[in-house]
Structure 1
Amino acid sequence: MEIKNVTVFGSGVLGAQIAFQTAFHGYTVTLFDIREDLLEDAKIKFEQFKLLYQQDINADAADLDAAVSRISFTTDLSLSVKDADLTIEAIPESIEIKKDFYNRLGAVAPAKTIFCTNSSTLLPSQFATETGRPERFLALHFANYLWKNNVAEIMGHAGTDPEIFKEIVQFAKTIGMVTVPIYKEQPGYVMNSLLVPWLMAGLDLYRNGVADAQSIDKTWMKTMGADLGPMAMGDLVGMSTAYNVTQSYYQGTGEEVWKERMDFLKANFIDKNKFGISTGEGFYKYPNPAYKNEDFLK
């Protein structure tokens, strides 16, 4: 099947990026979210992406305008998938939310449509049944700033059709991704199997009073030559995602340390509306966080 029409569910940090990158590479894209104001926020993000694409990958302004023209917006689930060949879901990292969503999506999507989830930590098999088409369901996971950190991880489950798996690997290549096929279900794929322990190590140092956020990040940035430390990355990823990840790991493992992390994030960030960059405060205050100061590493 030739993929032409792609629907992206969720206009948050990664959903907006996935929609823009897919449209930039010539596909017709529909972006769905549950509220109009969220879609309006995505339109603002797209204007920011234009500047970043020019700056980071020397993209042509006319091509960027054309990409935006290929994106439509809707809060109507049925309408969003009426012509969809492929859907990519980037909604909150909650098994209950995803199960409910796929139950509704499976009832309205055409039989031809392939379903992909961008879930960071959940396994496709955990909600494959709810899709109503488990053989046409798999994970397609992207990195943040995907136009330059252009890695896509493709992970099926035991019931995924191998031909569908190959088709999504090929699709990911057509939108400029370096593809990483995952041959066995793994929570966190390759990327987050490496990233989550790093983020949690930073969080543990912070919540246990070992060091403050700036010291933790300075140590990592200076010794590893990195642009960001784990605390700044936490703000970028967002506290709601971090919270959902700790909740998911706690539910999956039952280990008390995940509950402690989850409770700490809720009490100190979620309940105080400190969601990171999106709300102007997390470990740092925005739009001018300390780690961007020229003398931060001095």
Structure 2
Amino acid sequence: MTIEIRRVTVLGTGVLGSQIAFQTAFSGFDVTAYDISAEAIAAARDRFATLTETYSAEVSGAADGKAEKAGAGITLTSDLAAAVRDADLVIEAVPEVLSIKQDTYRALAELAPERTIFATNSSTLLPSDIKDYTGRPDRFLALHFANQVWKFNTAEIMGTDETDPEVYRAVIDFASAIGMVPIEIHKEKAGYVLNSLLVPFLNSAIALSAGGYADPEAVDKTWRIATGAPMGPFQILDVIGLTTPYNILVNGDADSARLAAWLESEYIAKGKLGIATGEGFYRYSS
């Protein structure tokens, strides 16, 4: 039996969640975006307005009103039951904390139709750590996007040993339908391909500056000049936002926890969360 995906709900409207929702709507799907409060929903509206401008300026075919239509067509809600009532696919992009994700799926299992596919956008956690909370391990897998999805359009797809192969294939087809390049991961790997390469690189950069060896600007300059890369690791961290790397580090070993403490004291506690707040390791104009 063919699995049809037309109605998509994205849980979490942060930097990446809002991009996933917008890209999906831009590709012609019926999209609902959920977040936990009126304040979060208001922030999401601002993100969608910014994405409308970005797509209109940068994405082929978006300047004829398609971007405006996509942004205006996204349904925003803080009612989880309403958000998932008719969903064919739920893409979860809540904070990178295992207990939060497990609690989210525990609630989803009671609210979503039996047919609904659940996909986690977790950056580093294994889907097998979550599957028992979904109530449908055969219809659960990981679907991981890179930041700035309209430009860096990979979609890494990773199931568990219980994921139905037809569900896996349906999500591959969905990823293609929204303009992504599907990357099939053959077995579970924390960090998939992208973050297995990226996270150690970024953590090494943080360790250099946290250890007092070099300032973030010097680390970035070294990387750009020596490799020809367009961005250094701290510039990448500002794009990602500092909350996600902090959550990954704070749940790691003792060395990782020390790096998390440095990020928290020197940047996060001062409201320096990256581009989204106008300042991270660098300052940004509006």
TM-score bracket, normalised by the shorter chain, equals over 0.9
1:64-213 pair list within 5 angstroms: 64-213=67-216
Q: 2:284 aligns with which of 286, 295, 298?
A: 286
Instruction: Report deviation, 1:211.
Output: 0.8
Q: Is the 8 A contact 2:57 2:63 kept in 1?
A: no
Aligned partner of 1:271: which letter?
A
Give the distance between the partners of 1:275 and 1:10, measured in 2 at CA. 17
1:136/1:161 contact within 8 Å kept: yes
Q: CA deviation at 1:238?
A: 1.5
Over the aligned positions, Cα root-mean-square deviation in angstroms equals 1.4
The 5 A counterparts of 1:33-48 are 33-48=35-50
Q: Secondary structure in 2 aligned to 1:223?
A: helix
Deviation at 1:67, TM superposition (A): 1.2
When normalised by structure 1's length, the TM-score is 0.91
Q: How far apart are the structure 1 equivalents of 2:266 and 2:160? A: 36
> Which residue of 16, 19, 25 maps to 2:18?
16
**CA apart distance, 1:111:** 0.5
Cα distance per residue 1:1-44 (max 9 Å; x no partner): 21110000000000000000000010000000001222222222
Structure 2: which amino acid aligns with 1:196?
V
**Separation of aligned partners in 2, 1:153 and 1:236:** 19
Q: Residue 27 of structure 1: which of 29, 36, 41 is its match?
A: 29
Q: 1: CA distance between counterparts of 2:103 and 2:266?
A: 29
2:249 to 242, 246, 250: 246
SS of the equivalent of 1:91 reads coil
Structure 1 match to 2:235 = 232
Verify the 8 A CA contact 2:9 2:83 in the aligned structure 1: yes
**Does the 8 Å CA contact 1:27/1:70 hold for their aligned counterparts?**
no
> Following the alignment from structure 1 to structure 2, what is the Cα–Cα distance between the partners of residues 258 and 229?
20
Name the aligned partner's letter for residue 208 of structure 1.
Answer: G
* Structure 2 letter corresponding to 1:137: F
Which 5+ residue runs of structure 2 have no aligned equivalent?
none
Among the aligned pairs, what percent are the same residue?
Answer: 48
Match of 1:270 in 2: 268
Runs of 4+ in 1 over 4 A off after TM superposition: none
Given candidates 196, 210, 225, the residue that maps to 1:222 is 225
The 10-residue stretch of structure 1 (10-19 or 218-227) with the greater mean CA deviation from structure 2: 218-227
8 Å CA contact retained: 2:34, 2:83: yes
Structure 1 residue matching 2:170: 3-state secondary structure: helix
2:220–2:232 CA contact under 8 A, matched in 1: yes
**Structure 1 unaligned spans of 5+:** 289-298
Residue 220 of structure 1 and its aligned partner are, at CA, apart by 1.2
CA contact (8 A) 2:156 2:183 kept: yes
Q: How many equivalent pairs are there?
A: 283
TM-score by length of structure 2 reads 0.95
